[in-house]
């Protein structure tokens, strides 16, 4: 009897495509040789029986004249992926659908085909995409509008819209410490300020929420006969939850006089 181990095989349409010159056999009473040589009779002796040991790829079987050794797995899905099962017959996944990937399920379970989920997509070209959130692509916010956005915990923008704004300004003339007569409305947002020095005397002024304070604008030099714009980026505080009085102060006016303007949107 000759034993054929479950190792020398050629992958093809079926696993029983074994090459005769790759299988070593030992005929009864003879020396080990390839199956091709044994069948040709070139080395003497006659092969009367071939036994295949069962394993992951082949079922155990015996051939005495002619026959076929079957696959260990009776049915493997076309285009599936083979999965090792130790010494047991191999298993195979089902054919995966377009864009699926094989995902591990832990050391004690077979991996499974899965479709990309959550916030991402994957096509059959391997291109990763993002699930649309329904937001219209474009630029939000501009002259007369402010962009309003809803953002989830992952940082995705779930909604976006433009909200119309109403621009207005507060004005006051100062040659001594005081406040702008009209209060800044609650929740209004300061977008800029400016000071026009109507004299030939330079002066240092600041703005605050109380007399003498500079919690809106640090002390800033307004040059003689100059117009000094103050962008929002240079201001310290821009909005309040209630109506707010704005104070304009200087440590020494020295005869200078300025026209103060505060622009805001609501």
DSSP result, 194-211: EEEE-SSS-EEEEEESST
If you write DSSP's letter for every residue of 75-142 in order, what string do you get?
Answer: ---TT--EE--TTSPPEEPPPPPTT-EEE---TTS--EEE---TTEEE-TT--EEE---SPPPS---B
CB 185 within 8 A of CB 170: no
* Cα separation, 89 vs 209, whole angstroms: 81
Residue-level pLDDT at 112: 87
Q: Total domain count for the chain?
A: 4
- Do 191 and 159 lie in a common domain? no
Q: For residues 56-63, give the mean pLDDT.
A: 73
- Do 121 and 204 lie in a common domain? no
pLDDT in tens, 61-83: 777 777 766 666 667 778 888 88
Residue 2: is its pLDDT beyond 50? no
Residue-level pLDDT at 178: 96
CB 193 within 8 A of CB 199: no
CB 148 within 8 A of CB 161: yes
Confidence of residue 1 (pLDDT cuts 50, 70, 90): very low
- Mean pLDDT computed over every residue of the chain: 83
- Do 187 and 174 lie in a common domain? yes
CB 222 within 8 A of CB 211: no
pLDDT in tens, 163-177: 887 889 999 999 999
- Do 79 and 33 lie in a common domain? yes
Question: CA–CA distance from 135 to each of 107, 119, 151, 160 (Å)?
Answer: 41, 14, 11, 6
- The model's pTM is 0.44
- Do 25 and 64 lie in a common domain? yes
- Do 186 and 260 lie in a common domain? yes
Domain of residue 25: give its range: 1-95
If you write DSSP's letter for every residue of 158-182 in order, what string do you get?
Answer: EEEEEEE--EEEEEEEESSSEE-SS
């Amino acid at each position: 009897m000759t034993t054929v181990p479950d190792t020398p095989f050629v992958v093809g349409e079926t696993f029983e495509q074994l090459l005769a010159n790759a299988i070593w056999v030992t005929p009864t009473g003879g020396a080990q040789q390839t199956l091709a040589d044994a069948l040709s009779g070139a080395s003497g002796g006659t092969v009367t029986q071939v036994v295949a040991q069962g394993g992951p790829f082949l079922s155990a079987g015996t051939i005495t004249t002619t026959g076929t050794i079957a696959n260990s797995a009776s049915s493997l899905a076309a285009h599936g992926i083979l999965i090792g099962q130790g010494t047991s017959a191999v298993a195979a996944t089902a054919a995966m659908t377009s864009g699926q990937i094989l995902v591990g399920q832990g050391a004690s379970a077979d991996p499974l085909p899965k479709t990309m989920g959550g916030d991402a997509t994957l096509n059959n070209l391997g291109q990763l995409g993002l699930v649309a959130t329904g937001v219209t692509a474009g630029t939000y916010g501009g002259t007369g509008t402010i962009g309003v956005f809803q953002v989830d915990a992952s940082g995705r923008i779930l909604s976006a819209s433009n909200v119309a704004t109403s621009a207005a300004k507060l004005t006051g003339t100062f040659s001594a410490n005081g406040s702008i007569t009209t209060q800044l409305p609650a929740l209004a947002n300061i977008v800029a300020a400016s000071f026009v020095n109507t004299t030939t005397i330079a002066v240092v002024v600041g703005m605050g929420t109380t007399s003498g304070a500079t919690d809106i604008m640090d002390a800033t030099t307004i040059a003689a006969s100059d117009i000094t714009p103050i962008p929002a980026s240079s201001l310290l505080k821009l909005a309040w939850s209630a109506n707010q009085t704005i104070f304009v102060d200087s440590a020494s006016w020295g005869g200078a006089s300025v026209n103060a303007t505060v622009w805001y949107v609501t």
